[in-house]
Chain A
Amino acid sequence: MDRRQFLYGLNAGLGSIAISAMLGEKTHAAGGIGTPELDFPSAKAKSCIFLYMEGGPSHIDNFDPKPKLKELHEQEFQRQGNEQSAMSSGKRYYVQTPFDFHKAGQSGADMNTEWSHLASVADEICFYRGLQVTSVNHPAANYHVNTGNRLGGDPALGAWVNLGLGTENSDLPGFVVLPEVSYPQGGASNWNNGFLPTEYQGTAFRPQGSPLLDIHPPRGVTRQQQRLNLDLLTTLNSRHAQQRPQNDQLAARMRNYELAFRMQTQVPDLVNLAEESRATHHMYGIDQQKTDLFGRRCLLARKLIEKGVRFVQLYAGTWDSHDYIQRAHGAMIKRVDQPIAALIKDLKQRGLLDETLIVWMGEFGRTPDNGIRGGIKYGRDHNPQAMTVWLAGGGVKAGHTIGATDELGMEAVESVHPLRDFHVTLLRLLGLDDNKLTYFHAGRYKQLSQFGGQLIGELIA
């Protein structure tokens, strides 16, 4: 038990440890402090910042231009296939992109010109166009990306990473989520611990109000009063524990109270960005109206990584542009472009980019065609068959574009891989082997990829 006891949030239920021990499960680094025992010691990335573009950003309008659609613009199209949802039936029309594209950086990465800041770091990025997912429903697709299971309920990627790598800061959670004020579809299950012990759950730092629920004592309770309360509690608990020396949960719970007391000052300090320089604020677009919210989250992500948090997931949405894609996507790009580029540059100048894996993705891509809803058709529906995701930072093949979609952007055709392979690859970049990072639950060893997957070696430098 010892090495787990100082983990943020402390002990796994005794049951789960006992069970894995009984079954001879390799306990892995299992959440202790200090240097984790990596499956792939050469891995560079030690932590991950996951930029979740909720709603399904269009590959066709961001990073995967399709000139052919210009020719077909507004031509009617009937999708094939007999099992249809409402989204694929009815009259549909091809839609050209309203955006201009250019080749960014020395690598010549395809990018729409709205991404003016990201273009300056294009050579740090590895674009991947071969990924395919399976679900067209937002919550199911979100669950799939986050947990490997479309139905939800399984541990999130960040939970697995913490199980594998442990934490470097016992006073902070190892898996922090920075959601928007409104949670994504599927809610907090997107950062669930699933069947892993509770301490692997993602902790959402709330963008408004207190960063952690009830981290501030109620009105009228001073720190002095709390200390007084805590001291009396310790007196009562000590007597109780002395009479029950067999139960180590009692002592563990007492330590949690002291830890919580320390966190009450630490966490609010951490989320307070006032100490960062004016130049830094400016760089992230903080205090400019369109970029302020996401800029703050990106800067906070950097601070959390510096403090030893393993996995930070940021949400930005919604990219669900069924209509008016020029305005809708254009506005989204404005919100995230500068903050993301600033994050990459900031990590680089601090020498942290090499040891941080950055992931940019949504839950699916979008269709080259659209139906008419309310007389508007310049948008796109959900497309699980094609999307663009990108990676930057430790160990990725920066400055390359891997894979390709067909000439309409309907379907991935080169370096095509299912999501589970991408999960395997993300774990590998963090030094973890999906096949070894397993946990016994409900009758079998479970893993992020569900049943195993292949490495997408082309994404790795």
Chain B
Amino acid sequence: MKSKASFRSWADRTRWFLILAGLLGEGLTLRATEELTELRRDPEQIFVFQIHTMLVNKCFACHGDAPQELEGELDLTSRLGMLQGGTSGESSLSPGRPGESPLYLAAMRDHDLWQAMPPKESERLTQEELEFLQVWITRGAPWPDPERFKQLQQGRNPWSSGQEVRVQTSGGLSEEWTNRTYEPARLWAYQPLMSLELPAGTDNPIDYFIQNRVPAGLAVAGPAERAILMRRLCYTLTGLPPSPEELAAFVVDRSQNSYELLVDRLLASARYGEHWAKHWLDVVRYADSSGFANDFERPNAWRYRDYVIRSFNNDKPYDQFVQEQLAADELFSESTDAMLGLGFLRMGPWEHTSMAVGRITRQQFLDDVTSSVGQVFLGQALQCARCHDHKFDPVPTQDYYAIQSVFATTQLAELEVPFLPQENRSQFEEDQKYLEQRESALDDLKQTINRPQQTPNDFGRDRLSRKWSTLYRRARDRYQPFALGVYNGHTNFGRTSHKRFEKPANVTNGILEKTAILTGGDVFSPGQVVSPGALSVTAVETEIPPTLDGRRSAFAHWVTNPRNPLTARVMVNRIWGYHFGRGLAGNPNNFGAAGGKPTHPELLDWLAVEFIRSGWSIKKLHKIILMTAAYQRSSTHPHPEQLDALDLDRKSYAVFKMRRLTAEEIRDSMLQVSGELVHELGGLPSRPDMNLEVALQPRMIMGTFAPSYVPNITASQRNRRSVYALKMRGLRDPLMTTFNQPSPDESCEMREASNVTPQVFALFNSEESAERALAFANRVSAETAGDDAAIQRAFELAFGRGPTEDETQAALLHWRRSLEMQEQIVPQPADYPFEVVRQANEENTGELFTFTEPLLEYQDYQPDLQPYEVDVRTRALADLCLVLLNANEFIYID
């Protein structure tokens, strides 16, 4: 069967555009122009093309759509309704007299008696709409009967610029929506990619396109200093600063290709994949737990994280990367690596417990995956079309459910996928040792419970031990070759998240879901049945079989079809954004009308075409971007006033945009500067030190407490890169969140860089910072002889430059004074908590119950360097180091 998503070809449509344009745009004679003016004064025309549309968009939701629930009993869907008015008892329309028509007065929003309408400020009538309303009422407020209405509607629209176009989609819920027209500029993302001719002798196409749009009279900044450029480049590609030695070598290397060689070297570094995987993991909402009431661990999620890192490091072609994540089981089931990509489909927060209705949680999964696919691969806010046709974009609700139908046979399962040799299993043994200790401690706790339960402790501990048994049983899957995955089959609503999801022997047990348009998005109000399909506006043909298997692979091929106008544009825009701090199109997750339009549409298309031509190679794309003058520009403009006058929004790339480091970059850089960063690829999530108050904060999961967070026992595991840090949705590391690490509940298209006071506490006062500063000072002491050399080294490590004379003096003075203060202090070894006592109201009895949780790892914990282990000179230097790690120069890069 042919699916709904087969469309007229693009060429046909283009021809149709041209016909329309020819009809209304060019070649109008004088007489025709007069006729047009006349038509535009005709109140019937005004009604059909202006007033009625406005009423539909802004009034009917409360005054018509639901005849039983009319606001103020006012029905605006007919002239009679308007004349009758609502509960006020006054007619809302006085034909011929807008000044006496409450309809008009309310819309003006400044009347004493009539409440402003529509109520939402954001929906207020535009000046133009008010004028049409005024003219229509003045001229008698005619309301053509349905037949006449249709006749007029099919005729010429006297307001059409000739540019506005109708767009072919699978069709909306109303004819009105289906036939509505769009300014072509709003449809840029759905147009085929433009192949652009470059003038002969163009040196660098990207710089050519950028230069074309630099406002006349605006100079561009000169090239950045080499030291600044290298620091910028290292952060762009690896998220880490260069060492002072690498920096010094680059600064003096004046050979022609030294920069290019550096780009190549960094792209080949394993650090590259770790850093760029983090960008992707932001977009797909990676976490090691499921969120919601239980926040169950996802014991194998790390394999997806490592799959993403490997994919970036190996420069896996992006089309393949997409196909694997959507349909590896259908397309590449023989490839272990590819199968791990299916984790993408499992990234959203999701659980099903017996407390919830299975059909509802299943629908939550389907809505989540549909919305995620839309944002991640297509840059489309599909979720806006869940309850109605899209308000701004040519995305009918039918398409939303057609795409959802692609996943209607997709069932969650932990699949057996053998470990690859390169997957890091080195932590299994140690991790399992502590898990077993926890299990036996839990057995001890169970011994304290009277059966049947009598006391609050009995009830509370019983509930706790049952939950923790479940958690530990699931945790054992960490060491098993399972992967977050899916299979095709019928749906069983009852499967709860308490157990591993197994793929059943017979996948056709259960019900075969038939996707239907859900009225108002409500799972219990199914409407018209929909077949699997894709986004109809793109006019890229696809046939998605309505069979059990093959839906996702067909869809994946549609997504990665080189003629799909969205996929390549969306990805090159993301990559561009991570280089420059802003996308060419302002909202990488939303290419619709509500997202920012591209500032450089030609460049965006050129990049997309080039990306596809290069075999979807992300590394090649990096290289061409990094080789531009635009990327290598200084962040200081020679004429700031000129820049403000001509490019206030900094859209021209005349100057490079400074940025604050991300949360992970801050922590990783501190560890690198202090010499503590441990590089090890992949594996079980590492557990860094976390603010103890938060780590030991009691945390409720369904019915009881969650186990406490305990860091790894060794520094070699704790001090790994942040991309490997355990990410529980219900317990976020406060250091990360205050520096804007996004919540993994929503796709993050671009990090924020807010500037708030808690960041000061986190960076200036925390135990973490103190430990980094101490290790930093210790390193500097060990690597240098003499005070001046130490200061020199500390500045080089932190800022990539030596201190000025003034700075040296200020630093020496600071050190001396700190020394005086430190001499008064005798530091002692820190104590670590071996257990934590929990107390809470027990819900059966309403009385307090207590239990003691042993923190087993702390008994073997090997702390980072402590103040009592170093001399007083180093301790005093640590204060200086702390200041350097807090400096703007460390946190911001030019």
A interacts with B? yes
Q: B754 contacts A328, CB within 8 Å? A: no
Per the 8 Å Cβ criterion, residues 328-361 of B in contact with A are 353-357, 359-360
Q: Which of B730, B818, B867, B888 has most A Cβ within 10 Å?
A: B888
A329 on interface, CB distance cutoff 8 Å = yes
Of B293, B804, B880, the contact of A138 (CB 8 Å cutoff): B293
Residues of B near A259 (CB, < 8 A) are: 757, 760
Closest Cβ of chain B to A433, distance in Å, is 8
Measured CB to CB, the nearest residue on chain B to A321 is B843
Residue of A nearest to B640 (CB): A246
Q: CA separation between A199 and B756, bound complex, in Å?
A: 7
**A-binding segment of B442-450, B692-700, B851-859:** B692-700
Q: Which residue of B lies closest to A24 (CB)?
A: B122
Is B693's CB under 8 angstroms from A210's CB? yes
The answer to whether B846 and A329 have CB atoms under 8 Å apart is yes
Q: Is A279 an interface residue, CB under 8 A from the partner? A: no
B36-44, B480-488, B549-557, B589-597: which one contacts chain A? B589-597
* A 302-329 to B, binary, CB cutoff 8 A, 1 in contact else 0: 0000000000000001101111100111
**Docked-complex contact B693 and A209, CB < 8 angstroms:** yes
CB of A145 to closest CB in B, whole Å: 15
Residues of B within 8 A of A87 (CB): 355
B755 touches A11 (CB 8 A): yes
Q: Is the CB of B355 within 8 A of A137?
A: yes
Q: Is the CB of A321 within 8 A of B846?
A: yes
Chain A contacts for B391, CB-based, 8 A: 444
B292 CB within 8 Å of chain A:
yes
Stretch from B661-669, B761-769, B777-785 contacting the other chain: B761-769
Q: Report which of A219, A243, A256 forms a contact with B760, defined as CB distance below 8 A.
A: A256
Partner of A215, one of B694, B765, B847: B765
On whether the beta carbons of B746 and A153 are closer than 8 Å, the reply is: yes
CA distance A137 to B697 in the complex (A): 23
Contact with A along B641-661 (1 / 0, CB 8 A): 001000001000000001010
Q: Does B753 contact A (CB under 8 A)?
A: yes
| Contact (A438, B120) CB under 8 Å given A185-B700, A209-B693, A444-B594 | yes
- Is the beta-carbon distance between A236 and B883 smaller than 8 angstroms? yes
Say yes or no: is B148 at the interface (Cβ < 8 Å to chain A): no
Closest residue to B771 on the A side, CB-wise? A218
A250 at the interface (CB under 8 A from B): yes
Stretch among A158-166, A221-229, A387-395, A406-414 lining the B interface: A221-229
Judge if B845 is at the interface, Cβ distance under 8 Å.
Answer: yes
**B752 partner, pick from A13, A212, A220, A241, beta carbons under 8 A:** A13
**Residues of the A chain whose Cβ atoms lie less than 8 Å from the Cβ of B453:** 374
Determine if B77 is an interface residue (Cβ-Cβ < 8 Å): no
Instruction: Tell me the bound Cα distance from A71 to B810 in angstroms.
Output: 84
A376 to B884, CA, bound (A): 62
Closest chain B residue to A259, Cβ basis: B757
Contact with A along B796-823 (1 / 0, CB 8 A): 0000000010110011001001100100
Chain A, range 191-221, C-beta contacts under 8 Å to B: 192, 197-199, 203, 206, 209-210, 212-221
A331 touches B754 (CB 8 A): no
Determine the chain A residues whose CB is within 8 A of the CB of B762 once the complex forms.
213-214
**Smallest distance from the beta carbon of A206 to chain B beta carbons, Å?**
7
Question: A109 to B643, alpha carbons, bound, how many Å?
Answer: 67
Interface residues of B in 721-766 (CB under 8 A from A): 730-732, 734, 740, 743, 745-746, 752-762, 764-766
Complex: how many Å from CA A323 to CA B842?
11
Output the nearest chain B residue to A182 by Cβ-Cβ distance.
B698
Determine whether the beta carbon of B357 is less than 8 Å from that of A83. yes
Q: Is the CB of A198 within 8 A of B752?
A: yes
Per the bound structure, the CA–CA distance linking A236 and B883 in Å amounts to 9
Residues of B within 8 A of A199 (CB): 754, 756
For A232, A332, A382, which residue has the most chain B Cβ atoms within 10 angstroms?
A: A232
A246 and B657 CA atoms in complex are apart in Å by 10
A105 at the interface (CB under 8 A from B): no
Residue B66 interfacial (CB < 8 Å)? no
Q: B833 interface residue, CB < 8 Å from A?
A: no
- Known A182-B699, A247-B658, A256-B756: A85·B356 in contact at CB below 8 Å: yes
Q: Which residue of B lies closest to A243 (CB)?
A: B636
Question: How far is B700's CA from A210's CA once the two chains are assembled, in angstroms?
Answer: 21
Of the candidates A83, A183, A216, A249, which one forms a contact with B697 in the assembled complex, judged by CB atoms under 8 Å apart?
A183
Q: Mark A394-420, 1 if CB is under 8 A from B, else 0.
A: 000000000000000000000000000
Instruction: Report which residue of B356, B524, B811 has the largest number of chain A beta carbons within 10 angstroms of its beta carbon.
Output: B356
Partner of A185, one of B121, B701, B814: B701
Neighbouring A residues of B660 by C-beta, 8 Å: 249
CB within 8 Å of A: which B351-376 residues: 353-357, 359-360, 364
Contact A85 B757 (CB under 8 A): no
Is A10 part of the binding interface, using a Cβ–Cβ cutoff of 8 Å?
A: yes
> Given A86-B355, A247-B658, A332-B846, is A232 in contact with B765 using a C-beta cutoff of 8 Å?
no
> Chain A's nearest CB lies how many Å from the CB of B453?
8
A139 to B349, CA, bound (A): 13
Could you tell me if B355 and A327 are in contact, using CB atoms closer than 8 angstroms? no
Contacts of A324 in B (CB 8 A): 844-846
Residues of B near A138 (CB, < 8 A) are 293, 702
CB of A91 closer than 8 Å to a CB of B? no
Tell which of B592, B846, B889, B891 has the most Cβ of chain A within 10 Å: B846
Q: Is the CB of A152 within 8 A of B745?
A: yes
A218's partner among B359, B699, B766 (CB-CB below 8 A) is B766
Inter-chain contact B814/A232, CB cutoff 8 Å: yes
Q: A153-B743, A328-B845 are in contact. List 4 more A-B contacts (CB 8 A).
A: A182-B697, A212-B761, A213-B691, A260-B764
Give 17 CB contacts A-B under 8 Å. Answer: A8-B757, A11-B755, A212-B758, A226-B764, A229-B882, A236-B887, A239-B804, A245-B640, A249-B753, A260-B761, A329-B846, A331-B846, A376-B844, A436-B120, A436-B121, A442-B590, A443-B590
Interfacial residues, chain B to chain A (CB-CB below 8 A): 119-122, 292-293, 353-357, 359-360, 364, 381, 384, 391-392, 453, 524, 589-590, 592, 594-595, 635-637, 640, 643, 649, 658, 660, 691, 693-694, 697-702, 705, 730-732, 734, 740, 743, 745-746, 752-762, 764-767, 770, 804, 806-807, 810-811, 814, 817-818, 821, 825, 827, 830, 840-841, 843-847, 867, 879-880, 882-884, 886-889, 891-892, 894
Taking Cβ atoms with an 8 Å cutoff, the residues of A that contact B are 8-13, 15-16, 18, 25-26, 55, 83-87, 136-140, 151-153, 181-185, 187-189, 192, 197-199, 203, 206, 209-210, 212-222, 224-226, 228-229, 231-233, 235-237, 239-241, 243-247, 249-250, 252-254, 256-257, 259-260, 263, 317-318, 320-324, 327-332, 374, 376, 382, 435-436, 438, 442-445, 447, 452
The 6 closest A-B pairs by CB, nearest first: A328-B846, A182-B698, A443-B594, A331-B846, A260-B760, A86-B354
